Structure 1
Amino acid sequence: MGESLKKSIASIALVSVLALTGCSGTGNTAAGAADSKATQEAPKVPDLIGSWKQSNPSSEKSYQQATVTADKMTIEWVSDGGNTTSIYWIGTFVSPTSANEPYSWTSTRDVEATKSSLLASSDATKEFKYEGGTISYKVSALGTTTTVNLKKN
Structure 2
Amino acid sequence: MATEGSKPCVYLQDMEEVKKVFARFDANGDGMISGDELSGVLKALGSDTSPEEVARMMAEIDTDKDGCINIDEFADFCKNDDSVDGGAKELKEAFDLYDQDHNGRISATELHQILNRLGQNCTIQDCTRMITSVDANGDGYVCFEEFKKMMGNK
TM-score surpassing 0.5?
A: no
- TM-score interval (norm. to shorter): under 0.3
Higher strand share: 1
Higher relative contact order (CA 8 A, sep 6+): 2
Asked which structure has the greater CA Rg, the reply is 1
